[in-house]
């Protein structure tokens, strides 16, 4: 158990809908990362938050957004869902030492199925 | 472009034999390199990382990895494979001074009894 929690484990929804995925980082970690894992695109970095502020952005669609709250939990919002958004969404957390090379600890993921 | 590559989609090995899962990198500056393992329907688990120093890094579950700067490689190894090592293995690296990870495409390790 990494100490990172994600809810829900599974989510089934229809095209055009909006969903929210939730992540709680390990105790003491200020940074949260979101990744998407799909069969055709592998593991893709979406976005990073550090202590409530956006720190880095990856291949995140405009239909997707995220935020990190004062208690450090994070939510990933996916809207106008398409079939191609079906994937595993992982959250990870780490300390940020400022020196790079910080280990990221991953949650169990949320499996999103868009029908 | 900065990236990591895993040239093998799948590696098959017999239980008790040594295993190697390959990774090559292309990142500027001093690379930080990681290995993660993913079991079916599970999240990624950290195995080991190279920051600096000794080129042979020891990690969890008896795995180790060798950093080779001249060959820009960071291959994952284990002297004696177990059936329970069967999983998906990912090499990863943060580019530059950012903490986001670029992941390799993953290598499926099959260990046959």
Mind listing the pLDDT tens digit for each residue in B67-113?
999 999 999 999 999 999 999 999 998 765 566 788 899 999 999 99
Mean pLDDT of B38-61: 90
Closest CB from A104, A105, A109 relative to B101: A104
Which residue is listed with tokens 């994600």? A6
Output DSSP code: residue A8: -
**Percentage of residues of chain B with pLDDT beyond 70:** 94
Taken as a whole, chain A contains a residue count of 115
Mean pLDDT of A16-35: 96
Whether residue A108 lies within 8 A of chain B, CB to CB, comes out as yes
Three-class DSSP category at B83: helix
B94 burial via Cβ count (<10 Å: 0-12, 13-18, 19+): buried
The reported pLDDT for the residue numbered B5 is: 93
Closest CB from B32, B49, B90 relative to A43: B90
For residue A28 the two structure tokens come to: 């003491």
Over the stretch A40-78, which tens digit does the pLDDT of each residue have? 778 899 999 999 999 888 889 999 999 999 999 999 999
């Amino acid at each position: 158990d990494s100490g990172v929690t994600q809810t829900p484990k599974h989510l089934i929804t229809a095209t055009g809908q909006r969903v929210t995925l939730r992540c709680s980082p390990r105790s003491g970690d200020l940074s949260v990362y979101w990744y998407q894992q799909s069969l055709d695109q592998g593991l893709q970095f979406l976005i990073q938050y550090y202590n409530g502020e956006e720190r880095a952005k990856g291949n995140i669609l405009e239909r997707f957004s995220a935020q990190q709250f004062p208690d450090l939990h994070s939510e990933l919002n996916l809207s106008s869902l398409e079939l191609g958004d079906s994937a595993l969404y992982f959250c990870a957390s780490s300390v940020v030492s400022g020196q790079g090379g910080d280990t990221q600890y991953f949650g169990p993921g949320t499996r999103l199925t868009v029908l | 472009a900065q990236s990591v590559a895993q040239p093998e989609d799948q590696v098959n090995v017999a239980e008790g034999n040594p295993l190697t899962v390959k990774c090559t990198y292309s990142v500027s500056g001093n690379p930080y390199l990681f290995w993660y393992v993913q079991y079916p329907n599970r999240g990624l688990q950290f195995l080991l990382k190279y920051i600096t120093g000794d080129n042979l890094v020891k990690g969890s579950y008896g795995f180790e990895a060798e950093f080779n700067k001249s060959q820009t490689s960071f291959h994952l190894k284990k002297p004696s494979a177990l059936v329970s090592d069967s999983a998906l293995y990912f090499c990863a690296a943060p580019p530059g001074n950012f903490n986001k990870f670029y992941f390799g495409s993953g290598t499926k390790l099959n260990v046959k009894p």
